[in-house]
Chains A and B, each alone.
Chain A
Amino acid sequence: MTHIRPVPATIARLRRQLREWERSRGTPSPAATGRPAAVERSGATEVEAAERLFPGGCRAGSLVEWLAEGEGTGAATLALSCVETFLRNGGGRLIVVDDGDGGCGFHPPGLPPAIDPERIVVVRPRSVPDAWWVVEQSLRCRGVAVTLCRVRRADDRTLRRWQLAAEHGGGIGLLLRPSAARRGPSWADVRWLVEPLPCLSESHGRRWRLELLHCRGGTTLRAAPPGSAVELEQDHETGAVRVVSRLAAAETDCRAARA
């Protein structure tokens, strides 16, 4: 019996081939991803940042993780900005699982204007098991377009269940997680690391550095590899988020990866 030991060069070559193939095809087909066709409903994004971060729209039936350290980072705002069109077109509904951690709860007046508060249901579970049950039920429901939840700590089994539930329900799960979660495995399609940046001046909008930590299928960031990063800026007046530039270092990484 012959054992074939994968060598890093082979893996890199296969990854590169896969990326090239997917780039030429655009969004992968259901057969390519191995998921049922029912979950391939995708919403074309209108927000510039969302368009750049998720070309062709966020893939329905998937989880997206937004990692950030501490409070006030703006990760939830970014996450919601990227799924605005899901909630705007077709009357999608948003379930917010509000754990009220430390007495800090969801505050709808701060929603992006494109999201109608009438289409939101806020669920306040009293315990962590209840919260995880709500997330799974919400992801499994075909009537829910987006589920937003802060996840301090969750085991692999729970995350895997959520992934399967999202595939069944066809909605998107937005998981707001601490940056320490980057060390664990990901069951999400995409994992972003959000780092807030100081604004350029008081008349300028809010800025972030967004690093792609994990991506299944390579459809994110115009098929950029993990490790790529972009800089985003929020319009001071309208709140719209746009991509300012791809960071030079990331560009170099990108080129190196493609070479």
Chain B
Amino acid sequence: MIHAEAGRRGACVTASSRFAAEQGVVPGLSLAEARTLLDPACRNVPAHYEPHDPAADAAALRELAIGLQRFSPRVGIEGPDALALDIGGCAHLFGDEPGMARQVWQTLHRAGCRTRIAVAGTIGAAWGIARFTGERVTVVAVERAEGLLDPLPVEALRLSATTVGRLHRLDVRTVGRLRALPRESLPSRFGPEIVQRLDRLFGRGPELLEPVHSREPLEVGGEFAFPVADRQGLERVLQQLLAALVEQVRARREGILQLACRLGPEEGAAVEVVAGSSRPVDEVPRLWELLRLNLERTPLPEEIVAVRLRVVAAAPLGVHQHSLSGRDASREAGAEFDRLLDRLSSRLGSDAVLRPRLVPDAQPERACRFEPVDPARRTEVRPARRAGRDARDGGRDDGPGPVEPTGPTERPLYSWREPLPVEVVSIVPDGPPVRFRWQGRSHVIRSAWGPERIAAGWWRGPSVERDYYRVETEEGRRFWLYHDRRAESWRLHGSFE
């Protein structure tokens, strides 16, 4: 897997899997070169390319930081790929410092992260040692820190690329060699940051660790003085609570993705209704519409004594640039379409609003999957693949890759989820049908195209062996029949509507 981002040279690799790295795919390589190296090497499983998403990376790192708060209450983020833990006063709870570091490593390893950990007296020292020594876990005693830090490359000082380049041109490649230079001359030659970084590395200058805080859940609610049975009154209270909740969410410059409403009766279990949106929303009327549609299809307790609204998921509100011509019709249409899908999902349920995904499977009932459009239940969309190649593989890969429709001449536009048994007359055994009986009527077949033999699915258990025929009756109607070669029976699978 390779992450690529659009740079001046086009798309470049920003991260790669271990396998890709073994093939020579390193960060900075252009995507075209990476493809040249990777595609021939990946024979069995096609290489997976993913665009770089810094916001998602930052969010994942933040989640990781919050997860590590079980080791220390003060966990900070250091750059795009490092975390700093202040373990002062915590290490003895996990044995000692090496024991604690090992436990942190194991936790991150279980989370699927490739990690290197260093325990040192300063954040700078821990950052440099973790990055530039090959060990998984390094614990540096204060008294031998200088000896370990001097051989480190100057990149360990967390300097800008320009400063590092300038130092390299002067052949100053290690921290030790940099320290050998007159300290007074450093700011004028390399900028003020270099002295500050050196001081922080050796603990002579202060460095603040800004801890990540896990967020307080957003929740509003209240209890009625007496049980409420009036639906309109309840709706008014819910709208007021929703407005208060939206105010809190707006203060964070976020919108609501998922909202839970809990209604507590005087006796018995509370009822929880969850409303979702495909995009973050901070408008009370729209959220209320989604919640109302969900409430309409949920049996509610007769009398309610407590109500509570809780934000299950929130996300930053999207910022978009207005077009020069004023209204952006396609954007507005897209947003309105999303709102429609939210409304439909709210009233009918997520499993009723579906997006078809054609998959390269020879078995007709598996050739199309319906996935909920609801983002909470939406599965990952993989990039397009060539239908031809998958067909050559025998359709064994049943991943949800989009493929072209087969077309209205080959496949029916409507099909029965459970093919219907029909009585069929053929002149020749295993031959094309000449007449079939369905819905109490006899249909005389005038033309038949086939057989299209489909034998597939043996790797899933009982395989299918079918001879499909497209038939046209003497009235010009077209149907899709098949002869089940295993069960020796005929079934009607679709109609060419």
A-to-B contact residues, CB < 8 Å: 70-77, 80, 90-91, 93, 100, 102-113, 115, 117-118, 120-126, 130, 133-134, 137-138, 141-144, 176, 195-199, 201-202, 205-208, 234, 236-237, 239
Contact = CB atoms under 8 A, between A and B. Distances in A.
B408 interface: yes
Contacts of A126: 348, 352
B379 to A, nearest CB: 14
Contacts of B405: 108-113, 115, 117
A90 B415 CA distance: 29
A120 B417 CA distance: 19
Contact of B406 (A100, A109, A130, A206): A109
Interface in B192-216: none
Contacts of B413: 76-77, 80, 106-107, 110-111
B370 A104 contact: no
Interface stretch (B130-138, B317-325, B354-362): B354-362
A83 B206 CA distance: 69
A196 B475 contact: yes
A206 B354 CA distance: 31
Q: How large is the interface on B (under 10, 10 to 19, 20 to 34, 35 or more residues)?
A: 35 or more
Contact of B348 (A72, A123, A202, A234): A123
B336 interface: yes
Contact of B497 (A77, A100, A123): A77
Given A72-B473, A74-B496, A141-B339, 13 more contacts: A72-B495, A72-B496, A100-B417, A104-B417, A109-B364, A111-B405, A112-B408, A117-B358, A133-B347, A142-B333, A199-B447, A206-B409, A234-B408
Nearest to A115: B405
Given A72-B495, A144-B337, A110 B358 contact: no
Nearest 7 A/B pairs, CB to CB = A143-B337, A196-B476, A72-B477, A107-B415, A110-B413, A76-B497, A110-B411
B479 A72 contact: yes
14 contacts: A71-B477, A72-B479, A74-B497, A103-B418, A108-B356, A109-B358, A110-B405, A124-B353, A137-B340, A143-B335, A143-B340, A176-B497, A201-B447, A206-B409
B446 interface: yes
A53 B478 CA distance: 23
Contacts of A125: 348, 352
B334 A104 contact: no
A107 B347 contact: no
A172 to B, nearest CB: 14
Given A107-B494, A111-B413, A142 B336 contact: yes
Nearest to B493: A107
A75 B497 CA distance: 6
B344 interface: yes
Given A77-B408, A123-B348, A199-B447, A106 B477 contact: no
Contact of A118 (B402, B409, B418): B402
B416 interface: yes
A101 B118 CA distance: 65
B449 interface: yes
A107 B473 contact: no
B33 to A, nearest CB: 30
A108 B347 contact: no
Given A111-B408, A117-B405, A207-B476, A143 B336 contact: yes
A134 B496 CA distance: 25
B147 interface: no
Contact of A121 (B341, B409, B420, B494): B341
Contacts of A112: 405, 407-408
A239 B407 CA distance: 7
Given A143-B333, A196-B476, A73 B497 contact: yes
B368 A109 contact: yes
B343 interface: yes
B421 to A, nearest CB: 13
Nearest to B438: A71
Given A124-B354, A239-B409, A197 B497 contact: no
Of A105, A138, A195, chain B has the most CB atoms within 10 Å of the CB of A105
Contacts of B358: 108-109, 117
Contacts of A144: 337, 340
Interface of B: 330, 332-341, 343-344, 347-348, 352-358, 364, 367-368, 370, 373, 402, 404-418, 420, 446-447, 449, 472-479, 494-497
Contacts of B406: 109-110
Contact of B330 (A71, A80, A91, A117): A91
B477 A130 contact: no
A141 B336 contact: yes
Contacts of A207: 476
Nearest to B443: A72
B476 to A, nearest CB: 3
A107 B412 contact: yes
Contact of A196 (B373, B402, B412, B477): B477
A23 to B, nearest CB: 32
A239 B447 CA distance: 18
Contacts of B332: 142-143
Contact of B496 (A110, A117, A201, A237): A110
Contacts of A109: 358, 364, 367-368, 405-406, 411
A77 B496 contact: yes
B358 to A, nearest CB: 6
A205 B449 CA distance: 12
Given A111-B405, A123-B348, A202-B447, A138 B474 contact: no
Contacts of A107: 368, 411-415, 494
A232 B405 CA distance: 23
Contacts of B404: 113
B353 A121 contact: yes
A145 to B, nearest CB: 9
B406 to A, nearest CB: 5
Nearest to B351: A124
A75 B333 CA distance: 29
Of B418, B476, B478, chain A has the most CB atoms within 10 Å of the CB of B476
